[in-house]
Amino acid sequence: MKHQSYSIHNYQNIDQFSKFSKEQREAIEVVSKVFPFKTNNYVTDKLIDWDNFEDDPMFILNFPQKDMLQDNHYNQMLDLIRRGADKKEVYSLANDIRRQLNPHPAGQESNVPFLNGEKLLGIQHKYKETVLFFPTQGQTCHAYCTFCFRWPQFTNMDELKFAMKQSNLLTEYLENNQSVSDLLITGGDPMVMNINNLKAYIEPILNSHSHNLNTIRIGTKSLSFWPDRFINDKDSEDVLRLFEKVSKSGLQLALMAHINHPRELSTKAVQEAIRRIRNTGVQIRTQSPLLNHINNKPELWSRMWRHQVALGLIPYYMFIARDTGAQHYFGTSLKKSIQIFSRAYSQVSGLARTVRGPSMSADPGKVQIAGVTKIRNQKVFVLNFLQGRNPDWVNKPFFAEYDENAKWLDELVPFEDDRFFFEDEFDEIKEKQDKKIVRIDNYKTTA
């Protein structure tokens, strides 16, 4: 398949365009002024069910939906477009709306570390063992998910693109931080990079023997949005050879595949891509947020996890939709999230129970809703850090008052306490970060 990319400027050319009603076209044009929109011919031809596309999860995953904007925002933007306002005016309203949608959730700026006194804009280091790296050329995707939490990166509003060119700085940072066992190359989607760029980032790491890495992870949606990346692109073979080279070097390479719906695993192409990748010794782990309108049914998750295990993939994370962008549209309550997770989890064999969640990637850490229980006849959420800014917080269950509408950690109230156990220490960490004196492996631990 030859890759054909569509954006708001040429989506009239997709084969199925004539199916769109006037209202749908309007919605796509209005909403795509605020949220990024990009699709491709694999998604439109192989994943979307066009017989029933209005309610189709793959369509909702990839095409802007009217209700992703609140009515007042939608109508403001529609008015501007109708009266033919100029680009500048549209852009300025779009940015106004975006600023109201929490464009940088979970304090991402504060994860940017320093090396020799210099800020490393392409790196985020939040948890001791794992460094995130955002290669400049990997900050886009083959197609964009409508719910994407990195959405400001794909609009032109983001001055602070977490990207940097110099892979030698990355290697130096890893050498200077011996507590780091995992490097997670992420984006966007690093697999949009061509083989030369992939090599430029990965080979220096293989050639350095002074870091302490065990695993290189690559976060990607290409497996399900463009499986030809591993089959028929002109450098597909070279990509697989590079994967093999990493495996043979003694480092593990793990592809962190972003898969939201069982249909993404159903095509011949994705299954062929999985087979080829696994033949190189690379592991594939999977993750997805839980999303209204796309995958909010327990049977869908258990079916998806089972199919993943059958294909040799390892289920890894179920996330709770972040407090950003169109969360009012995609987000599910914590109550519903734990119901869906538990029901799905109880229906699969132990081999699929490698999955962890449902988890909120919040500022203090990854907080799992471990369950709902009762203490002295009062209903509570049981919470648990899967990752913490301070590693000492991990795996110490704690309680919050049950709240059937809460969608995120900041809406929860501690049970029989003024503050959650970690909050004083978290304030201290934030204060140090504001003064820019913190290094992740210098965090005070209470042990």
Ligand X SMILES: *Cc1c(COP(=O)(O)O)cnc(C)c1O
Whether residue 142 contacts residue 40, with contact meaning beta carbons closer than 8 Å, is answered with yes
The residue among 330 and 408 lying less far from ligand SF4, judged by its C-beta, is: 330
Query: Which string of DSSP letters, residue by residue, matches 379-410?
Result: EEEEEEEEEESSGGGBT--EEEE--TT--SGG
Distance of alpha carbon 290 from alpha carbon 264, whole angstroms: 15
CB of 130 to ligand X, least distance (A): 4
Binding characters for ligand X, 155-194, by CB under 6 A (x = yes):
-----------------------------x----------
The single residue among 41, 44, 124, 368 that binds ligand X, judged by CB under 6 A, is: 124
134 binds, among ligand X, ligand SF4, none (CB under 5 to 8 A by kind): none
Q: For ligand X, which stretch binds (CB under 6 A), given 60-68, 126-134, 229-237, 432-440?
A: 126-134
* Pairing state between β 398-401 and 365-375: unpaired
375 backbone dihedrals φ, ψ, rounded to 5°: -120, 125
290 binds, among ligand X, ligand SF4, none (CB under 5 to 8 A by kind): none
Q: Where are the beta strands (DSSP E) in 28-154?
A: 39-40, 114-115, 118-119, 123-127, 130-133
Q: Does 132 bind ligand X (CB under 6 A)?
A: yes
Q: Return all residues near 100 (Cβ < 8 A) that are at least 6 apart.
A: 73
Q: For ligand X, which stretch binds (CB under 6 A), given 8-16, 125-133, 195-203, 232-240?
A: 125-133
Interacting positions 241-270 with ligand SF4 (CB under 6 A)? 258
Interacting positions 179-198 with ligand SF4 (CB under 6 A)? 187-189
150 binds, among ligand SF4, ligand X, none (CB under 5 to 8 A by kind): ligand SF4
CB of 361 to ligand X, least distance (A): 5
Q: Return all residues near 180 (Cβ < 8 A) that are at least 6 apart.
A: 125, 128, 129, 130, 131, 174, 211, 212, 213
188 binds, among ligand X, ligand SF4, none (CB under 5 to 8 A by kind): ligand SF4
**Residue 135 identity:** P
Distance of alpha carbon 318 from alpha carbon 334, whole angstroms: 12
- Residues binding ligand SF4 (CB under 6 A): 141, 144-145, 148, 150, 187-189, 221, 258
